[in-house]
Amino acid sequence: MDFPRASGILLHPTSLPGRFGIGDLGTEAYKFVDFLAQAGQTYWQILPLTLTGYGDSPYSSCSAFAGNTLLISPERLVDDGLLNRIHIEQKPDFPADHVDFGWVYEWKSQILPAAFEKFRSSENHDLSGEFEAFSRENAWWLDDFALYRAIKSAQYQKPWFEWDVSLKLRHEEALESARKDQAAAIDAEKFYQFLFFRQWFALRKYANENGIKIIGDVPIFVALDSVDVWCNQSKFKLDEKGSPKVVSGVPPDYFSSTGQRWGNPIYDWDAMREDGFGWWIARLKFALAMVDIVRIDHFIGFARMWEVPASDKTAENGEWVEVPGGEVFSALNNALGELPFIAEDLGAMTPEVENLRDSFGIPGMKILQYAFGGDPRDAYLPHNYVHHCVAYTGTHDNETAAGWYKSAAKKQHAFCRKYLNSNGRAMHWDMIRAILSSVADTAIMPMQDILGLGNEARMNVPGSGGPNWQWRLKDGEISDEISEKLRDITVIYGRQKN
């Protein structure tokens, strides 16, 4: 799919400012949309909106469909009459500059049940009708998700592969018994999802009405302890006990000398093929109902996957295994029509990956931080870009632009300054100017780079033990001066929204 010449900002909603310990889908999100519009931007790029998993990562969720209920705005719940203001005024003294996920989870685990009880005891027929419609329309994923969460809670959060055999292997009598025993918990889980999606779609509608399109993110993998694997065990490379034979990762690279052992279960593509890749079609169709454009994480995994023996501690001894990506994307194309995707095609690129990307007209990514090794033919240098790509100063996995420049080797420093004709004093703006002035149809800048923040504001260090995903904007950090400066440079290079 071809995209118009435009630009946008990468900022996950958890990084928005606010009083409740984590960015959410309330007032500050709407203010950010206003800022994007005022600054002449077209896109708001976010990370996955699913529930976070190990290490608080949005790329390791217990569901490919369920929304992150930590993003539910408490203020919006008060507006809807589901909480009294005292519920949110008696909040903990959360830190303002980062997310303490454990603390936020503990608090929202108190206010969301309170909202559910208020809902059950009220006679708000309009809201009840909305909830019933939501539950009915999403039953195909919501019923299993709510059951999984309810059982998991009753089992003291044990992973599904440690449940009793009858539940683990989904014997219908055991499932029906669990549905009856956990009926209230199941309804509550459905209601929390209703609240999330209700708030999300209202925010997305506001963004679209103000000329802002949302770029979402679909991780290629799901977590082993997820409802997706529990309900589709035959579609993953598991043994008879539900344990993975092989797990996901990438070989040694720029980020790690031992590679990255992600640990996600690997798809059994032969089994996926049997129903025409129906799970993938459902997943991407659902994603495109939530956002306008989808970034496909780890796109090279649709051409080949680095399969690591599950018993290994690192990813060094993995091997490349071919994946029928052409069949997958043909099925998606036939089912969904034109594919508004962006390929995260970073890493061990091969002609097969490039052919897969290009044959479906999917733009790839160019990361400016990777460009300054000294080779003028480097594909990441702006003069080598093609129109059909998405240029970034960096992503959530990189250092910030200012942080990268501070830590870069002297050789990179010299080449970077010479290439950008920069004195290095405001390198973040020089790098922003470079991607905005390039021929790339789309240019995206992390909010940290707009603000010129150092690596203290980095979102994620791949392969590390964390802490990651915690950075937040401070209240008032986005000034009118920054908005005007960004709009001016966006207009100069013909990327302003219409």
Residues 6+ apart with CB under 8 A from 124: 81
Instruction: State the catalytic residue, choosing from 297, 307, 441, 449.
Output: 297
Give CA–CA dist 427/412, Å, rounded: 13
Number of H helices, E strands in the chain: 19, 12
CB-based burial of residue 487 (10 Å sphere; 0-12 exposed, 13-18 middle, 19+ buried)? Answer: middle
Report DSSP state, residue 252. S
Residue 352 falls in the annotated catalytic set: no
Torsion of CA 306, 312, 315, 320, to 10 degrees: -20
Residue 399, H or E segment = none
Residue 338 falls in the annotated catalytic set: no
Identify the CA nearest to 467 among candidates 118, 201, 103. 103
Which pair of structure tokens corresponds to residue 81?
Answer: 């009459």
Enumerate the H helices of 62-182 as residue ranges.
74-79, 85-89, 101-121, 125-137, 139-154, 165-168, 172-181
Instruction: State the catalytic residue, choosing from 144, 344, 399, 441.
Output: 344
Instruction: State the catalytic residue, choosing from 292, 378, 397, 477.
Output: 397
Residue 297 falls in the annotated catalytic set: yes
> Are 40 and 486 a contacting pair, CB within 8 Å?
yes
Identify the CA nearest to 112 among candidates 123, 104, 124, 101. 104
Give CA–CA dist 66/249, Å, rounded: 24
Residue 195, H or E segment = helix 183-209
Q: Which residues are catalytic?
A: 297, 344, 397
